[in-house]
Chains A and B, each alone.
Chain A
Amino acid sequence: MSHVPAIGAALDNGKSGEPYWKKVFDGFERSKEWIREVKPDVILLVYNDHAVAFSLDIIPTFALGCAAEFPVADEGWGPRPVPKVIGHPELAAHIAQSVILDEFDLTVVNKMEVDHGLTVPLSLMYGQPKAWPCPVIPLAVNVVVYPPPTAHRCYQLGRAIRKAIRSYEEDLRVVVFGTGGMSHQLQGPRAGFINSKFDRRFLNLMTKDPKALTRITHLELLRETGSEGIELVMWLIMRGALDEKVREVHRFYHVPASNTAVGHLILENVK
């Protein structure tokens, strides 16, 4: 699902009922119902930091948030008025250990603020609660400095995360959010680029044939989805964490939210 900062601002400033934004929020009504029913014990939230927690000083490709809590960052206009994010250090540490031994050399982060990339998807799913209903494990992926990890690598990491969650001693209901995208370009004379045809095909393949998506190259993503659309690789981590065969519960696609095509998919393991 998308994480456009203007979506958060629309909600925070009471503009979610305006026609422009209502079209976006309406697409998540079914999703809010769904997550109320599913009641996850933990959310593993795959997102990207936007030059907030990480600067050009340190650029981890995959950074797993293992802290007990994650303060909401001040991105330059004050922190978003949303609850602080509570982590799940035990499960996070277990995932870190499991995937590193599975040869995914991720970075363990024990202190981190989280930006709109993480809080906007939570707002879309939960609205404006006083506290987020469950702990959240952030997995920050570098998509700011080229190259991000490949689509294939992301899918494989998702598989490793799935194995890690399955092997955790406690039986927890974990929902994985893959966020970012869809097609958009925020910079240069080609800004405003949107490729709905590509986006819709991507959504189809997410459900039916994710392995086809793992063969998409960065060059294709840059050319076909815009320079910022490349963050779609993060969806593949979520997809890899699911079974090969999934049921599509809900789909929503809308253009525009600010400069961006909003895409949203809820997938469930069949059994």
Chain B
Amino acid sequence: MGKPNAYDDIPGTTVFDAQRSRQGYHLNMFCMSLMKAENRTAFKANEGAYLDRFPMTGEQKQAVLARDWNRMISLGGNIYYLAKLFFNDQKSFQYVAAIMTGSSQEEYAAMMLKGGRPPEGNRYKKDWKKKRG
């Protein structure tokens, strides 16, 4: 990876830049393949075998099988590509967002109804370190 970027100090955030787009190319293209019905059927029949059609890393395949969304993001996944996978699982953006934040569906929905996660205390990594002691 290249030198650190200014946006690396935003907490809980992975910016999908050119490096990550390269790292996640096959993972994301696998997700995109699920836009075709025949591929969805093949994936459903045998997820592992279908994943082997793509030259992804073992870690990326494991993260997909475990539906570990944060892990997929850290391995180069992009949320708009991952959406093809969670739509295929009949899940919504909000469902997956709740999981990625470590909250229950109810907690997350309630937070959004109250106006969302506020900027105060969520701008810099140091804000989160303070909070978590």
In chain B, what residue has the closest Cβ to A188?
Answer: B12
A194 interfacial contact with B, CB 8 Å: yes
A227 interfacial contact with B, CB 8 Å: yes
A98 interfacial contact with B, CB 8 Å: no
Q: A55-B29, A194-B116, A256-B116 are in contact. Are A223 and B93 (CB under 8 A)?
A: no
- On whether the beta carbons of A223 and B34 are closer than 8 Å, the reply is no
- A158-202 CB mask vs B (1 if < 8 Å, else 0) is 000000000000000000000000010111111111111110000
Chain A: number of interface residues, binned into ranges = 35 or more
In chain B, what residue has the closest Cβ to A194?
Answer: B116
A222 interfacial contact with B, CB 8 Å: yes
CA distance A5 to B92 in the complex (A): 10
- On whether the beta carbons of B73 and A188 are closer than 8 Å, the reply is yes
For the complex, would chain A's binding face be called helix, strand, loop or mixed by DSSP majority? Answer: loop
For the complex, would chain B's binding face be called helix, strand, loop or mixed by DSSP majority? Answer: helix
Which residues in chain B, 1-35, are within 8 Å of chain A measured between CB atoms?
Answer: 6-7, 10-18, 21, 25, 28-29, 31-32, 34-35
B122 interfacial contact with A, CB 8 Å: yes
The minimal Cβ–Cβ distance linking A107 to chain B, given in whole angstroms, is 18
Chain B residues in 8 Å Cβ range of A144: 16, 78, 80
- On whether the beta carbons of A51 and B84 are closer than 8 Å, the reply is yes
CA distance A81 to B100 in the complex (A): 31
Q: Of B15, B31, B92, which one neighbours A146 at CB under 8 angstroms?
A: B15
Which residues in chain B, 88-133, are within 8 Å of chain A measured between CB atoms?
Answer: 88, 92-94, 97-98, 100-102, 108, 111-113, 115-119, 122-124
B81 interfacial contact with A, CB 8 Å: yes
Q: Of B28, B70, B122, which one neighbours A193 at CB under 8 angstroms?
A: B122
A93 interfacial contact with B, CB 8 Å: no
- On whether the beta carbons of B87 and A76 are closer than 8 Å, the reply is yes
In chain B, what residue has the closest Cβ to A147?
Answer: B17
A258 interfacial contact with B, CB 8 Å: yes
Q: A196-B115, A219-B6 are in contact. Are A190 and B11 (CB under 8 A)?
A: yes
A97 interfacial contact with B, CB 8 Å: no
A112 interfacial contact with B, CB 8 Å: no
CA distance A196 to B114 in the complex (A): 12
B83 interfacial contact with A, CB 8 Å: yes
Which among A75, A183, A186, A226 has the highest number of chain B CB atoms within 10 Å?
Answer: A186
Q: Of A6, A51, A223, A261, which one neighbours B80 at CB under 8 angstroms?
A: A51
Closest 4 CB pairs of A and B: A194-B116, A190-B12, A189-B12, A191-B97
**B interface residues, Cβ below 8 angstroms from A:** 6-7, 10-18, 21, 25, 28-29, 31-32, 34-35, 40, 69-70, 73, 78-81, 83-84, 87-88, 92-94, 97-98, 100-102, 108, 111-113, 115-119, 122-124
**A interface residues, Cβ below 8 angstroms from B:** 5-6, 50-52, 55-57, 59, 74-77, 144-147, 183, 185-198, 218-219, 222-224, 226-228, 255-256, 258-259, 261
